[in-house]
Chain A
Amino acid sequence: MQVVETFGRYLDQWSGPHPVRARRLLRLGWEAQNLKNKYLPDKRLIPADRDLAVIMMDAMLKPLQKPESSAIVSVFTPCEMLQEVGLNPYNVEAFSCYLSGSRCERGLLQQAENAGISETLCSYHKTFLGAAGKQLLPKPRCIVYTNLTCDANLLTFRRLAQRFQVPSFAIDVPMDQTPENVAYVAQQLEQLAKFLQECTGKTIDQEALRARLRRSRRTLEKFNQFQTARADRYLPTDLVTPLYSGMTNNILLGTEQVERYVDELLRDVAKAGPARGKRIYWMHTIPFWSDAVRQALVFNEGAQIVGCELSQVCEPDFDPEKPFEAMAWRMVYHCLNGSATRRIEAGIRHARQAGADGVVWFDHWGCKHTLGSAQLAKKKFEEAGLPLLILDGDGCDRSHGGEGQTSTRLGAFLEMLEEGGTTR
């Protein structure tokens, strides 16, 4: 732990005054971590999830190794076309998580706040903005983002485009699920194809894109089968693996490695032992840094996370033969798009699918939609027979944690599930 803290301290000290040195250190540190993931993986994880740690670290490293072949994206941006033109996703939310894991987030958050950005902005956005401001992060080829589920995107990505002076493309996703709205988004995605071709000088082969969308659909279907299969199985897990699935099913969706990963998941779940302990379905992001949450849920036969909202994108009912419509459909019908009620209903469906005993609604500081609908979610989930704990905290910024309170709330919730009660 001391090593990571020292690493973070140097990143903090060097970013800003010595950006080249700071970037080199960041890349070196993450490459070292990737070697550890490859050769000394955490044996407590199932084999698929050991590989997943490598897939994610590779995805994080690519923008540091080849920034000119990377595009900054928001987490729900469809990336199949980027893959076709050889652009790596350089994802704001995931990068901020990894920077927080590298223990250097405080100075980056402060940098953003010093520039005038509000303290109440989501810490994933603020960490990345701070890192860009301190020149810890390299300049990308371009930026692609969407307002889907998070309106902070409209601000952060526009500012990043100005900061890096690179072209950007925004995909506007209306909130209602209608065929007209799918057509509206599909038109924009056709424009995105032109934008990406202009940015890279490469051509998107329509048949290759269709094949990629077929893979995306298969991947989501298999992940769905996995979530159903795990309902009566015990799979030991940590706090980052469920978050990683949020990345593989969004920004890395359509890649061969992610399809291989879900195939492996299906093999692992078939071999897993029967379900044990209390099973928690997690809504929104997970505070992976929190010792209190770690003690309660990591590699714990008594209680573990069995799914995370961020990994369950949509029912894979799109037609890969019409790739623009398919990607547009995925966005418009994304479980997180539209009303809070729609999001809650999807959460109830997915928690039941994974055989959850209870649900944690994580009120990530700065996520207005999640905070605002917390009470409504509690009512709806519990009406559906799923006890729900509203847990306040922050997925990325340690200064918004109240570890004592987190430990008490989560501990009491798990005890209550043991006793078969509800939180009312």
Chain B
Amino acid sequence: MNTTYYVCKYTPIELLAAFGARCQNLNGMPQGFDRADQIAHANICGFGKSLIESVLEGNVKELVLVNCCDTIRTVSDLLHETGKLDFLYTVDMLHTGGECSRERTVAQLKALARAYGEYKGTQFDPAAFRAAFRPAPRLREPHISVLGARMGKELFEMVQKAMPYPVENETCVHNRSVGEVLPPETDDFDTLMEWYAAELLGQIPCMRMMDNTGRKRLFNDPNLKGIIYHTVKFCDFYSFEYAAVKQNLAVPLLKIESDYTLQSSGQLLTRLEAFAESMDMTRCEGKEKKMGKGYFAGIDSGSTSTDVVILDKEGKMVNGTILPTGAGAAVGAERALEEALKDAGLQREDIDAIVTTGYGRTAISDGDKSITEITCHARGAHYLDPTVRTVIDIGGQDSKVIRLDENGNVVNFVMNDKCAAGTGRFLEMMARTMEMSLDQMSQTGLKYKEDITISSMCTVFAESEVVSLIAQNKPTDDIVHGLNKAVASKTAALAKRVGGEERYMMTGGVSKNLGLVKTLEETLGTTLVVSDRAQLCGALGAALFAKDMVQQ
């Protein structure tokens, strides 16, 4: 028997079950959208594309949709056109729950019942209808909730593994509550449908409903220890809720965005682990090692450079080394550590503990522990200047803004999305276009005359804008200043999102870019602390955590 797939909590799955359907929520994340991109546009929500992908793969033969949003409405048309489904139905669910809506919903239910019954050749079975109502298990103990736009199965499993508490999926279709109350004891179809329409409409509303005040319940559970707020790229519904709640929550909040593919999980994992670390600092502590020679190392394996810091038992820095990462994180880390040991006149066995951080942190087998670069940057920045409350780190692959407390603990953080705009890579690409080195670029933007705005946020389009400015003979200083403004504006936006507070410190390799630092200071309306050891900040934090690991 075919499975009848559904995607929305307003889908009358109990009604379908009464006609003999075996219903299942379609929620897997594909590797990519090769098939879907052939019939849909790349810039629609990844979940919509994952639906198309599943149907085109031939895995789905029966699908009941709801007109959840413009994307699903369109996906319904596209799927209809493919002719690949044996049964495709879209329920025209209204956006209100009042008396008139209930009447219209009853009509919708009856229309679906007719269509599905004809397709299956079955009749409504009141006993099967009643049996389909089963309450979903709910967590009663302290837990973390995932809220917002629907989260795919694989990402949810990753979240569960990363968190220090059990996790409840309360996104979209997952907080379906029909089933908690049983239908009235009657076999009369009309009576049952009137009751059922009210049950469907009476659930915790989703963001497409006109009155969604009932969603407050999701945020007020006394057992809630933290919230992971998930949005899907090109789905706008839940960013509004996030914007409304982000300043008013009593529990820690992490915002993540996925494009509904399995890719990019590395970046999301860093955020999840950093969030878990901020809720449970014991993960970063633990005095499980004995003191030897009293030296501790931190290795920050980034996409561009690998940095090593060695501290002595007083916490003084005895060495800081920066080397290009090269082809592999593990080899790069080994090379950088060897170089650092050589410079410091130490041997590998003199080091009592090593903590690794950065993108390549888990690939390095030498380390005793790995901690995310977010927690390490906060710790390192606090060590360099205890008055700092906001760290801006623009790295090669990503940029992040971290807010910390007076003890150097992470209070909140935000990272850029997958797009390269606003990262070191963006500046690197632009420097290449302008045929200059990053060092030259760092000085160039300082002496601008015309205040040029690079309007394209997309790196590719920005590059073509730069090419056209070069063709117009615009002075290099003016163009570089325009580029600095583009990066500064993206970074300032991140700082605003995280609620940045004085004093600000800039870390990472891009902190050496004088023009950008100046433009960013103007954009933020404040001065930035730039330490001469700014690039070593992550490795320094890691070394401090390594020192914590050893009993003194």
Contacts and interface: CB of A to CB of B under 8 A. Distances in A.
A176 to B, nearest CB: 5
Contacts of A152: 236
Interface string A229-267: 000000000000000000000000000000000000000
Interface in A393-424: 398-402, 404
Given A113-B493, A155-B237, A372 B75 contact: yes
Q: Chain B contact residues (Cβ within 8 angstroms of A): what range? A: 35 or more
B67 A175 contact: yes
Contact of B70 (A118, A181, A369, A398): A369
Interface in A333-380: 339-341, 363, 365-369, 371-376, 379
A375 B455 contact: no
Interface stretch (B92-100, B215-223, B378-386, B429-437): B92-100
B195 interface: no
Interface in A134-175: 147, 150-152, 154-155, 158-159, 162, 170, 172, 174-175
B41 A363 contact: yes
A225 interface: no
A402 B104 CA distance: 45
A236 B255 CA distance: 50
A180 interface: yes
B304 interface: no
A376 B52 CA distance: 14
Interface in A186-225: 187-188
Contact of B210 (A114, A118, A172, A398): A172
A299 interface: no
A398 B70 CA distance: 24
Contacts of B255: 116
Given A116-B242, A176-B92, A368 B233 contact: no
Nearest to A113: B493
- Listed residue (A147, A170, A399) with the most chain B CB atoms within 10 angstroms of its CB: A399
B77 A341 contact: yes
Interface stretch (B22-30, B43-51, B269-277, B347-355): B43-51
Contacts of B96: 170, 172
B85 interface: no
Contacts of B71: 368-369, 372
B45 A155 contact: no
A30 interface: no
Contacts of B75: 372
B375 to A, nearest CB: 24
Interface in B198-242: 207-208, 210, 231, 233-237, 239-240, 242
Given A114-B493, A174-B92, A404-B464, A372 B40 contact: yes
- Listed residue (A122, A150, A184) with the most chain B CB atoms within 10 angstroms of its CB: A184
Nearest to B69: A151
A172 B92 CA distance: 12
A155 B100 contact: no
B200 to A, nearest CB: 16
Contacts of B78: 340, 372-373, 375-376
A341 B74 CA distance: 9
A118 B81 contact: no
Given A154-B208, A172-B210, A180-B104, A116 B239 contact: yes
A56 B122 CA distance: 58
Contacts of B48: 368, 372
Contacts of A155: 207, 236-237, 240
- Listed residue (A147, A187, A341, A367) with the most chain B CB atoms within 10 angstroms of its CB: A147
A371 B75 CA distance: 11
A159 B77 contact: no
B456 interface: yes
Contacts of A20: none
B41 A339 contact: no
Given A151-B208, A368-B69, A373 B468 contact: no
A339 B94 contact: no
A117 interface: yes
A295 interface: no
Interface of B is mostly: helix
A98 to B, nearest CB: 18
A376 B82 CA distance: 10
Contacts of B70: 150-151, 367-369, 372
A174 B107 CA distance: 13
Contacts of B327: none
B457 interface: yes
A399 B255 CA distance: 25
- Listed residue (B48, B243, B460) with the most chain A CB atoms within 10 angstroms of its CB: B243
Contacts of A150: 70
Nearest to B417: A119
A234 to B, nearest CB: 33
Interface string B434-461: 0000000000000000000101111011
A369 B73 contact: yes
B43 A120 contact: yes
A267 to B, nearest CB: 39
A368 B234 contact: yes
Contacts of A172: 94-96, 101, 210
B95 A154 contact: yes
A340 B493 CA distance: 36
A373 B48 CA distance: 12
A371 B49 CA distance: 12
Contact of B41 (A159, A181, A372): A372
B423 interface: no
Interface in B241-270: 242-244, 246, 255
A110 B240 contact: no
Contacts of A401: 455-456, 461
A298 interface: no
A172 B93 CA distance: 10
A159 B453 contact: no
B39 interface: yes
A101 B362 CA distance: 51
A121 interface: yes
Contacts of B242: 116
Contacts of A3: none
A40 interface: no
Interface in B14-42: 38-41
A115 interface: yes
A129 to B, nearest CB: 9
A44 B292 CA distance: 87
Nearest to A369: B70
B34 to A, nearest CB: 15
B496 interface: yes
B4 interface: no
Interface string B495-520: 01100000000000000000000000
A116 to B, nearest CB: 3
A374 B77 contact: no
Contacts of B325: none
Contacts of B40: 371-372, 375
A106 interface: yes
Interface in B79-115: 80-81, 92, 94-96, 100-101, 104, 107
B76 interface: yes
B497 A369 contact: no
Contacts of A113: 493
Contacts of B81: 376, 379
15 contacts: A110-B493, A114-B493, A147-B95, A154-B95, A155-B237, A174-B104, A175-B73, A180-B104, A180-B107, A339-B77, A341-B80, A368-B74, A372-B71, A373-B74, A400-B456
Given A118-B235, A339-B77, 8 more contacts: A116-B242, A174-B92, A184-B94, A368-B70, A371-B44, A372-B48, A372-B77, A373-B74
